[in-house]
């Protein structure tokens, strides 16, 4: 009798993919407990383009460049028009000598020392953003760890602890301890006897004692057991005076007022979980990696003024912002990655549903700031190596550099990552006022050193950045329902791509997934035409 072998998982998936398409394969992969964290199964295998077929790509950000790269591989002739004088779009790093020019002409000259930088846009990469990681590896972009969770950083809440920042580990352990103690009390009082069996009650009590580092009386108290997690008043030492002394735990009321669960939750969210990465030398290494592949196709300083299409192709009129010259670019198809706040004001020959969708998605305006200090006092004095100190002030947080630890000389930390009201407040200021606000607010964490060691700083107010006038797309449940499919659908020979055309808004992964999806559909339509 012939032995029946089960197909290998890979063979099975390939078979399902052939029969049912990508969606079925993805579903099957998820069912096989694989790949549930990413849609990426490898770059698209587009196959041969029609002889001489061409695509015009508008925008040399990640969406545009991944589209250009894969389309070229498939045999298309590709040209990219880019408004700025560099590739990458929001994938960008500001270094010493760079200018930040705002929409009204306000100009900042970045004064950072060589090797220092601010990543004003994307700055951290989740380990499951596999499309981005794939291209980083392929293009030789070296990644290093991005320290996301640092137990030794600070949490500041204006209404807690008299406005004095606390170490994350102290608040996190105290919160856990008090919650465990309360649940233990509820269990012992019989309050949950209707909900749990006697056996599970015993297990829960054991769990609360261990997880909450409670004492023998099921109380969360100041002792060496709690100090093992939250830190000691006197750390363990050697020799005669080696014995450690316990730290004093905070009371429940103070811990609650700190809102520490916000940070606990933050670190639990899927896109914030460790391991996270950053490119060595600055985030723009990724844009530069793509540009090494497609740079020859890019026309820089090229402002698109009008986009028209008919049954034979697409025409974009442009103005050269350096020379003032004008011209037009023609191709069979067009992938447009121009940010929606800009695109919505252009003359584009498209149908009403797409036009309405383009006008339906506003952008959030965030602010990031880079502050350069004479020395790494956060490391030297406060023993913080990477990670974030959070605050409820406008700046949102300060974040410590993840490279060149223990280095001498100037270092740059992220002095603000402001959202919502805080971002509007800071954006409305002059650059000097922003730096002053960042110093005042950030000094709560390092009062003795912050102003003393400060050298210079640069702010990046996304709402005032002329080529985008915002940071990332903001969708609502309503706008998704009404406009999303219209936004991503091909309109004749024209298709949009970018983070705004994804469910991964504001992440580079969304830009890449959108770009790959757009060209896959474009290619199918081109072959069918």
List the x/- string, 72-91, binding to other proteins by CB under 8 A: -----------x--------
Neighbouring-strand partners of residue 391? 156
Q: Which is nearer to other proteins, 332 or 509 (CB)?
A: 509
CB of 273 to other proteins, least distance (A): 12
Is residue 157 part of the contact set for other proteins (CB under 8 A)? yes
Dist. CA 414–CA 43, nearest whole Å: 34
**Contacting range for other proteins; rule: CB under 8 A; set: 16-24, 54-62, 209-217, 340-348:** 340-348
CB of 379 to other proteins, least distance (A): 21
CB of 36 to other proteins, least distance (A): 16
User: 206: which 2 tokens?
Assistant: 């054991």
Q: How many residues bind other proteins (CB under 8 A)?
A: 72
Residue with tokens 């069918």: 528
Is residue 428 part of the contact set for other proteins (CB under 8 A)? yes
Q: How far apart are the first and last CA of the chain?
A: 52
ω before 275 within 30° of 0 (cis)? yes
Contact with other proteins (CB under 8 A) among 91, 263, 278, 456? 263
**Contacting range for other proteins; rule: CB under 8 A; set: 91-99, 206-214, 243-251, 383-391:** 383-391
Q: Which is nearer to other proteins, 119 or 449 (CB)?
A: 119
List the x/- string, 353-372, binding to other proteins by CB under 8 A: ------x--xxxx-------
Write out the binding residues for other proteins, residues 163-222 only, by CB under 8 A: none
CB of 461 to other proteins, least distance (A): 7
Neighbouring-strand partners of residue 117? 95
Q: Are 125 and 145 in contact (CB under 8 A)?
A: no
List the x/- string, 481-510, binding to other proteins by CB under 8 A: ----------------------xxxxx---
Dist. CA 82–CA 154, nearest whole Å: 41
CB of 338 to other proteins, least distance (A): 9
CB of 78 to other proteins, least distance (A): 22
Neighbouring-strand partners of residue 496? 336
Is residue 394 part of the contact set for other proteins (CB under 8 A)? yes
Is residue 315 part of the contact set for other proteins (CB under 8 A)? no
Dist. CA 455–CA 410, nearest whole Å: 8
Write out the binding residues for other proteins, residues 98-127 only, by CB under 8 A: 103-104, 122-124
Dist. CA 6–CA 120, nearest whole Å: 51
Contact with other proteins (CB under 8 A) among 64, 341, 401, 431? 341
Q: Are 146 and 280 in contact (CB under 8 A)?
A: no
Nearest to 391 by CA among 262, 280, 245: 262
Handedness of CA 330, 332, 337, 340 (dihedral sign): positive
- 3-state secondary structure (DSSP) of residue 515: helix
CB of 88 to other proteins, least distance (A): 16
Write out the binding residues for other proteins, residues 230-259 only, by CB under 8 A: 258-259
Q: Are 64 and 337 in contact (CB under 8 A)?
A: yes
**Contacting range for other proteins; rule: CB under 8 A; set: 241-249, 310-318, 470-478, 484-492:** 470-478
Write out the binding residues for other proteins, residues 20-79 only, by CB under 8 A: none
| Angle at CA of residue 290, ends 336 and 45, nearest 5° | 75
Residue with tokens 């950045």: 465
Is residue 442 part of the contact set for other proteins (CB under 8 A)? no
Identify the DSSP state of 307: E
Dist. CA 115–CA 96, nearest whole Å: 8
**Contacting range for other proteins; rule: CB under 8 A; set: 74-82, 401-409, 464-472, 515-523:** 464-472
Dist. CA 178–CA 249, nearest whole Å: 10
Residue with tokens 């309109």: 491
Nearest to 304 by CA among 286, 289, 288, 320: 320
- 3-state secondary structure (DSSP) of residue 497: coil
CB of 189 to other proteins, least distance (A): 31
Task: Transcribe 345-377 into DSSP letters.
Answer: TSEE---HHHHHHHTT--EE--EEEEEEESS-H
CB of 244 to other proteins, least distance (A): 31
CB of 396 to other proteins, least distance (A): 3
List the x/- string, 395-424, binding to other proteins by CB under 8 A: -xx-------------------xxxxxxxx
Contact with other proteins (CB under 8 A) among 212, 470, 498, 515? 470
**Contacting range for other proteins; rule: CB under 8 A; set: 43-51, 174-182, 475-483, 516-524:** 475-483
Dist. CA 452–CA 174, nearest whole Å: 33
**Contacting range for other proteins; rule: CB under 8 A; set: 156-164, 207-215, 240-248, 377-385:** 156-164
Is residue 277 part of the contact set for other proteins (CB under 8 A)? no
Identify the DSSP state of 295: G
Is residue 139 part of the contact set for other proteins (CB under 8 A)? no
């Amino acid at each position: 009798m012939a032995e029946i072998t089960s197909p290998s998982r890979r063979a099975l998936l390939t078979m399902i993919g052939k029969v049912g398409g990508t969606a079925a394969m993805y579903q099957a992969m998820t069912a096989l407990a694989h790949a549930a964290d990413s849609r990426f199964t490898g770059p698209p295998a587009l196959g041969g383009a029609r002889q001489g077929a061409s695509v015009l790509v508008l925008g040399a950000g990640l969406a545009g460049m991944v589209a250009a790269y894969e389309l070229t591989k498939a045999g298309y002739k590709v040209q990219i028009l880019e408004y700025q004088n560099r590739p990458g779009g929001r994938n960008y790093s500001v270094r010493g000598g760079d200018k930040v020019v705002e929409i009204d002409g306000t100009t900042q000259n970045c004064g950072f020392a060589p090797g220092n930088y601010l990543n004003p846009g994307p700055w951290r990469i989740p380990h499951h953003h596999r499309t981005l990681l794939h291209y980083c590896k392929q293009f030789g972009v070296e990644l290093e760890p991005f320290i996301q969770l640092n137990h030794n950083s600070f949490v500041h809440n204006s209404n807690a602890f008299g406005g004095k920042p606390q170490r994350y580990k102290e608040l996190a352990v105290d919160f856990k301890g008090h919650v465990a103690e309360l649940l233990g009390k509820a269990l012992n009082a019989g309050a949950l006897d209707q909900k749990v069996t006697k056996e599970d009650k015993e297990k829960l009590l054991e769990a609360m004692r261990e997880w909450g580092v409670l004492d023998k009386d099921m109380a969360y108290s100041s002792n060496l057991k709690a100090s093992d997690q939250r830190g000691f008043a006197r750390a363990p030492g050697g020799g005669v005076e080696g014995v450690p002394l316990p730290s004093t735990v905070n009371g429940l009321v103070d811990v609650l007022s700190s809102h520490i669960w916000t940070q606990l939750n933050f670190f639990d969210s899927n896109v914030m979980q460790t391991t996270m990465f950053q490119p060595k030398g600055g985030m723009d290494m990724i844009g530069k990696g793509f540009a090494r592949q497609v740079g020859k196709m890019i026309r820089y300083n090229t402002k698109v003024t009008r986009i028209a299409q008919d049954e034979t192709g697409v025409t974009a009129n442009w103005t050269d912002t350096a020379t003032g010259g004008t011209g037009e670019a023609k191709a069979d198809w067009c992938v447009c990655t121009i940010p929606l706040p800009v695109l919505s004001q252009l003359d584009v020959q498209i149908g009403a549903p797409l036009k309405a969708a383009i006008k339906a998605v506003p952008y959030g305006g965030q602010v990031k700031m880079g502050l350069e200090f004479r020395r790494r006092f956060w490391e030297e004095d406060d023993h913080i190596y990477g990670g974030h100190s959070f605050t409820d002030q406008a700046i949102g947080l300060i974040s410590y550099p993840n490279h060149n630890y223990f280095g001498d000389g100037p270092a740059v930390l992220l002095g603000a990552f402001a959202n919502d009201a805080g971002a509007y407040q800071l954006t409305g200021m002059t650059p000097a006022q922003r730096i002053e606000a960042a110093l005042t607010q950030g000094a709560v964490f390092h009062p003795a050193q912050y102003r003393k060691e400060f050298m210079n700083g640069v702010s990046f107010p996304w709402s005032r950045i002329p080529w985008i006038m915002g940071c990332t797309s903001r969708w609502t449940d309503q706008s998704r329902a009404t406009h999303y499919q219209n936004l991503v659908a091909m309109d004749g020979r024209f298709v949009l791509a970018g983070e705004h055309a994804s469910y991964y808004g504001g992440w580079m992964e969304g830009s890449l997934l959108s770009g790959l999806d757009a060209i896959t559909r474009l290619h199918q339509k081109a072959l069918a035409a």
